[in-house]
Copies of this chain bind each other. A is one copy, B any other.
Amino acid sequence: MIDQLILKIRETNNPTVVGLDPRFAFIPSRIKEEMLDIYGKTPKAIAKSYLAFNKTIIDEVYDLIPAVKPQIAMYEQLGAVGIQAYIDTITYAKSKGLVIIGDIKRSDIASTAQSYADGHIGLIDIEGEKFEIYKEDFITLNPFLGIDSVKPYFEACKTRNKGLFLLVKTSNPNSGQLQDLKIKNQYLYEYVGGLVSKWGEDMIGKSGFSKIGAVVGATYKEQGIRLRKQMPHTFFLVPGYGAQGATAQDLAGTFNKDGVGSIVNSSRGIIAAYKKDIYAEFGELNFAKASRQAVIDMRDDLNSVL
């Protein structure tokens, strides 16, 4: 799937992934009121609002982008109805040809990791019948438990053409508290980067990149540059652009000279674009058209530095 992702980035000329992280405050009143009318003041009304919101945005932007990244927390917090909306969002995005990066950041011991792997990127076997439950193409994982917590996902990567993005240097303000600790002559995030590139060595595709990628926050410019040099065969998922404060210039160093190497996430900056002054002209009714314009502007902004 890493090769397909890179191909789609080339086709759209856009290394952007749209983060589908809906919040109730982002939902236009038209959708919100319709769902509250049908389902009452219930988690189901919110979940259905998120799905309708996502679909409208996907319809407006799918031709411009290679991928979407739903953040499972937004859905999971609503319980079973939320998880259904997460799955339905993925199904819809796939029907539009988009690559799916499930932002789940799971971490657990091997036997438990196997369960996550089966559900998210593998198959669930029920008395001989196989079910794909979540159907993500990629998922994010937290490597704090070491290789045995990550290995159970490799089989699906190899046999089902899936991929992973492992947290190496995250975009949040305090990511350095652990990740920037000094281990002998390197920082912890560099050490983790070294592990991640080693783990992905035997899964390098035609694109020259491995199915095992890394999460590298746009908010840490120098670290991004260092990791890009250190991990030439590792594709980066780069969060932190826009709402979290990073600019295109900050993250340019996570790309190779040929403009390949990363996919940059923006969530609020795109899905809630209509709430920003510069896109206010679209109005709440045309919220998805504001998202489309925000995608175009982000694409052009990124391409101006690549």
Contacts of A149 in B (CB 8 A): 172, 174
Size of interface on A: residues with Cβ below 8 Å to B: 71
A220-243 near B? 1/0 per residue, CB < 8 Å: 000000000000000000010000
Q: Tell me which of A81, A142, A144, A170 has the highest count of chain B C-beta atoms within 10 A of its own C-beta.
A: A144
Q: Does A175 contact B (CB under 8 A)?
A: yes
Report the copy number of this chain in the oligomer: 2
Contact A108 B73 (CB under 8 A): yes
Q: Mark A189-201, 1 if CB is under 8 A from B, else 0.
A: 0011001000000
Distance in angstroms between the alpha carbons of A115 and B113 in the assembled complex: 23
Q: Which 10 A-B pairs have the closest CB atoms?
A: A77-B119, A146-B177, A146-B174, A80-B84, A144-B144, A109-B172, A148-B174, A73-B115, A80-B80, A80-B83
Known: A73-B112, A77-B119, A146-B174. 19 other contacts (CB 8 A): A24-B126, A41-B126, A73-B108, A74-B112, A76-B115, A77-B118, A79-B84, A80-B83, A105-B107, A107-B144, A145-B167, A145-B170, A145-B179, A148-B173, A149-B172, A177-B195, A178-B191, A178-B192, A182-B184
